A and B are shown apart, each in its own frame.
Chain A
Amino acid sequence: MTAPASEQRRVAVGIGQLVVSKDPRDVLVAYGLGSCVAVAAYDVGAKVAGLVHVLLPASEGKASAGGEPARFADVGVDELLRRLAEAGALRARLVIKLAGGAAVLGAANAEKFKIGERNAEAIQERLQRHGLRAASCDLGGTRGRTLELHVAAGRTYVRMAAGAPTEL
């Protein structure tokens, strides 16, 4: 069940941010994903949801910037899983969904800007290292996306600019 719209609370998950919630009123939202990739994870048993908004593929040993604890794919995925476990989620029950990783600066520049593709690859590799894989993905292309994860039932929706949301 998803909370009635009037009771929903939209929680923006900005660039490099990570949010874990058990509040069924919460809708976690990563707005305007361009080359960034959102990783949405949900444990249907514990009804715990987590969303991370990854900016770059690899930390290469660099600490995440203070204001962006999940700037990098490797650190971001690790931290997401740690925080979900802390909140009572079981890794084996996690349903993971990914969206973003586009080349939005025009088709002519798609070859030059590979950050989105590299972000998506780095996240999938990191998940694999933890023995996980995404259940569904909406990655690549040349259009920006917004992803929202409804904590009440773990439903995930993606929409493009001025488009209607579709369930992922």
Chain B
Amino acid sequence: MATLTAELEGTLSRVARDGAARAGRGLTGLMGQEIAIHVPQVRLGTRADACDAVGGPETVVLGSYLSITGDISGHIVLLFPVERALACVDLMCGQPAGTTREADEIACSAIGELGNIVGSAFVNALADHAGLALHPSPPSILNDMALALVETVYAEVLSQGGDVVMIDTVFEDARGQTTGLLIVAPDPVCMPHLRELAA
């Protein structure tokens, strides 16, 4: 397996940190409370332990998928354990905690909007750092086992050959509780572009 050069890892980490800061500001405004987003690592490949951030491989999660198109292409997956997702929906809708009890139409719509804000923040950070024109797709709502979702993105990217870079991002609220997992995976065909950017 190939390894990330220190330069590329540094560049992707900077993009991810900038994206996280932008997404954090967007979410804090939307939720009315401080949401911190940390970028613990940028790495090649993925493992089932990425799913540990949201409770394990079989944990049912709610989230969204966006594809990136434009000068480079890729994938953005945002996952929350269902209970955390429903708590986010209550915050977004200004409702007392515990109001939303299931992933109904309104909840799914709110999670889609969350995906839009976070995904767009990362896409814009990458576009600004790289001087590229990038466009996020409208979000698709996901409600399934965490690993089933993560492995499908992994397979899709890996099937194109080349390196798989997945930026794993963990969200924490003011109490330090993990609230979600964000995976950004550029298509391998874009790696030369990103390497040039890092050089």
Is A97's beta carbon under 8 Å from chain B? no
Nearest Cβ on chain A to B154's Cβ, whole angstroms:
7
- CB pair B155–A56 under 8 Å, yes or no, is yes
Q: Chain A 38-67 against B: per-residue CB contact (8 Å), 1 yes, 0 no? A: 000000000000000001110000000110
Q: Which of A26-34, A79-87, A125-133 is found at the contact surface with chain B? A: A26-34
Interface size on A, residues (CB 8 A): 32
Nearest Cβ on chain A to B75's Cβ, whole angstroms:
8
Chain A, Cβ-Cβ closest to B147: A32
Query: Chain A residues with Cβ under 8 A from B154's Cβ?
Result: 15, 55
CB under 8 Å from chain A, chain B span 114-170:
140-156, 158-159
- CB pair B145–A32 under 8 Å, yes or no, is yes
Interface size on B, residues (CB 8 A): 29
Query: With A31-B57, A55-B158, A161-B145 as given contacts, are A36 and B151 in contact (CB-CB < 8 Å)?
Result: yes
Query: Chain A residues with Cβ under 8 A from B60's Cβ?
Result: 161-162
Chain A, Cβ-Cβ closest to B48: A14
Is B65's beta carbon under 8 Å from chain A? yes
Give the secondary structure class of A's interface.
loop
CB under 8 Å from chain A, chain B span 51-67:
51, 57-58, 60, 65, 67
Nearest Cβ on chain B to A67's Cβ, whole angstroms:
8
A105 to B85, CA, bound (A): 18
A106 to B77, CA, bound (A): 11
Is B6's beta carbon under 8 Å from chain A? no
Contacts between chains A and B (CB distance < 8 A), count: 98
Chain B, Cβ-Cβ closest to A106: B140
Is B1's beta carbon under 8 Å from chain A? yes
Query: Chain A residues with Cβ under 8 A from B57's Cβ?
Result: 31-32
Nearest Cβ on chain B to A81's Cβ, whole angstroms:
23
A32 to B95, CA, bound (A): 33
A150 to B58, CA, bound (A): 19
Among A105, A107, A108, A145, the residue within 8 A (CB) of B153 is A105
Among B51, B141, B145, B146, the residue within 8 A (CB) of A106 is B141
- CB pair A105–B149 under 8 Å, yes or no, is yes
11 A-B pairs in the complex with CB atoms less than 8 angstroms apart: A31-B145, A32-B58, A34-B151, A103-B152, A104-B152, A112-B67, A113-B152, A143-B148, A146-B145, A161-B144, A161-B145
Query: With A109-B65, A113-B152 as given contacts, are A146 and B142 in contact (CB-CB < 8 Å)?
Result: no
Query: With A31-B58, A109-B67 as given contacts, are A104 and B155 in contact (CB-CB < 8 Å)?
Result: no
Query: Chain B residues with Cβ under 8 A from A65's Cβ?
Result: 1
CB under 8 Å from chain B, chain A span 146-168:
146, 161-162
- CB pair B51–A161 under 8 Å, yes or no, is no
A107 to B147, CA, bound (A): 18
Query: Chain B residues with Cβ under 8 A from A57's Cβ?
Result: 159
